[in-house]
Amino acid sequence: MTEESHEDFEAQLPVSERVAATSFAHPSERVAACILDFYQIEWRYEPTTFPLEWDRQGNVLTSFAPDFYLPEFDLYIELTTMNQKLVTKKNRKVRRLKELYPDINIKILYQKDFRKLLFKYGIPVASRHHSEGGGLDAAVSDPGTDA
């Protein structure tokens, strides 16, 4: 996929001003925000950092900031679009989060889930090379119309 053609494809997707103004850590998070905006679902990007591990002095050693919070559903969403074998560490964090904060609702969308979601909306995907951080990008192909 060339840089130029990728931009051509992205230009066809609706992007809100808010998404355009937000700096996302990964392109897949940007696509997810676009989808939420399209369906008028209120979202906040990485609004909360949950401490998960402390040293004896009470300093935070490990923390976790889920990607999105959806106030309407009181739900955190974490996108894990890296290769499945690399998600063990993140799974451990989410497990710990649930132990420490049992009232928090969090859902993980794995690479497979995200691929299926993009397919559903007629958005083809391409895997990014590990040297580019891994994960998924919207890819270029004939745009579908029936989502």
Residues lying near another protein in the complex (CB under 8 A) are found at 9, 12-16, 34-41, 70, 72-73, 75, 77, 107, 109, 113, 115-117, 119-123, 125, 143-147
Sign of CA dihedral 76, 79, 84, 88: negative
CB of 37 to another protein, least distance (A): 7
Longest CA pairwise span in the chain (Å) = 57
Instruction: Please identify, using beta-carbon distances, which residue of 33 and 52 lies nearer to another protein.
Output: 33
Instruction: Please identify, using beta-carbon distances, which residue of 65 and 139 lies nearer to another protein.
Output: 139
106 class by beta-carbon count within 10 Å (0-12 exposed, 13-18 middle, 19+ buried): middle
CB of 126 to another protein, least distance (A): 8
CB of 61 to another protein, least distance (A): 31
Angle between helices 27-38 and 111-120 (to 10 degrees): 50
